[in-house]
Amino acid sequence: MKYNKLLPILTSILVFIFLEIYIIWPFLIYFCFVAANFMIIYTAWCFCRKTEIKENFFDYFIIPSLLTSSIIAYSVFVKEGFFLHLLFVVHFFLIYIYFKIIYNYLLKKSSYIESSLSNFFLYGNFLVIFFIGSSAFAFQSFIDISAWVIMIIIIFIIAIILFEILKINNIDKEKIFFYVAIGSLIIAEIYWALSYMPFNYNILGFLLAVCYYVLSDLTRITLKNNISKIVVRRYVIFSLISIIIILLTATWV
User: What pLDDT, in 10s, does the model give residues 93-118?
Assistant: 999 999 999 988 888 877 777 778 88
Q: Report how far apart, in Å, the C-alpha atoms of 160 and of each of 4, 128, 177, 240 are.
A: 27, 12, 10, 26
Q: With respect to residue 176, please indicate whether it lies within any of the assigned structural domains.
A: no
- Domain membership flag for residue 180: no
Number of domains in the chain: 1
> Considering the domain boundaries, does residue 231 fall inside one?
no
The answer on pLDDT for 8 being more than 70 is yes
pLDDT of residue 123: 84
Q: How confident is the model at residue 230 (pLDDT cuts 50, 70, 90)?
A: confident
Q: What average pLDDT score do residues 190-206 get?
A: 86
Beta bridge partners of 199: 252
Local confidence band at 226 (pLDDT 50, 70, 90 cut-offs): low
In a domain, 74, yes or no: yes
pLDDT given for residue 241 in this prediction? 81
Helix, strand, coil shares of the chain, percent, nearest 5, are: 85, 0, 15
Task: Kindly tell me if the per-residue pLDDT of 253 is higher than 50.
Answer: no
Instruction: Check: CB of residue 194 under 8 Å from CB of residue 126.
Output: no
What range does the domain containing 11 cover?
1-113
The pLDDT of residue 81: 77
Q: Let me know: does 126 contact 212? Beta carbons within 8 Å.
A: yes
Instruction: Using the predicted structure, report yes or no on whether residue 33 has a pLDDT greater than 60.
Output: yes
Q: Report if residue 52 sits inside a domain.
A: yes
pLDDT level of residue 55 (50, 70, 90 thresholds)? low
Greater pLDDT, 242 or 251: 242
Write the CB contacts of 68 (distance below 8 Å, at least 6 apart in sequence).
15, 19, 36, 37, 40, 91, 95
For residue 188, being part of any structural domain is answered with no
pLDDT at 238 over 80: no
CA angle 154, 157, 163 (to 5 degrees): 135
Report yes or no on 47 lying in a domain.
yes
Confidence of residue 70 (pLDDT cuts 50, 70, 90): very high
Please name which of 155, 231, 227 lies closest in space to residue 192, comparing C-alpha atoms: 155
Q: Say if 123 falls within a structural domain.
A: no
Selection from 137, 133, 136, 102 nearest residue 117 by Cα = 102
CB 50 within 8 A of CB 107: yes
